[in-house]
Amino acid sequence: MDLKSVIRTIPDYPKPGIMFRDITTLLTDARGFRRAVDELVQPLAGAKIDKVAGIEARGFILGGAIAHQLSIGFVPIRKKGKLPYKTISESYELEYGVDEIEVHVDAVREGEKILLVDDLIATGGTAIAAVKLIERAGGDVVLCSFIVDLPDLGGADRLRALGKEVVALVQFEGE
């Protein structure tokens, strides 16, 4: 199965000129979803991973499935104001401003090995903020995993420049 074939492309969403890569079609395809999770777990064979951290919202779906398959805990990385306990936060720039993500102060212990998961890597702003957040909490991000990479936007390369290993299952060039 070609995972790329079960990812829907929506032109001009959320604004003109954007080709939105919608993984919900992959999630509703049982074989595609299973294959994606298996392929995201495969690079971890033999590695010691303590927890999976998923970036809101689609990273929750993928990260939860991966954490279940690895029999390890899951850490939600959420937008500001969504977590009920004490948090630490990290800001990042958007095209049109600044946003923040948060994690509970006790979600990651010093020295834990963390797998960071999200559906897509574009410019890398959110993923880089998530890496910084996990590291401030005491964790070590050992791998950043995505279903989709938009390599022309440079996010995966920005993560690699921070010394992070990056895995993406499919690439869409020219985005």
| Residues belonging to the active site | 58, 95
CA distances from 101 to 39, 133, 154, 168, 175 (A): 27, 8, 21, 22, 25
The two structure tokens encoding residue 88: 């630490």
Question: Reduced to 3 states, what is the DSSP secondary structure of residue 111?
Answer: coil
Helix/strand/coil percentages in the chain, nearest 5: 35, 35, 30
Question: Reduced to 3 states, what is the DSSP secondary structure of residue 147?
Answer: strand
How far, in Å, CA of 45 to CA of 169, rounded? 16
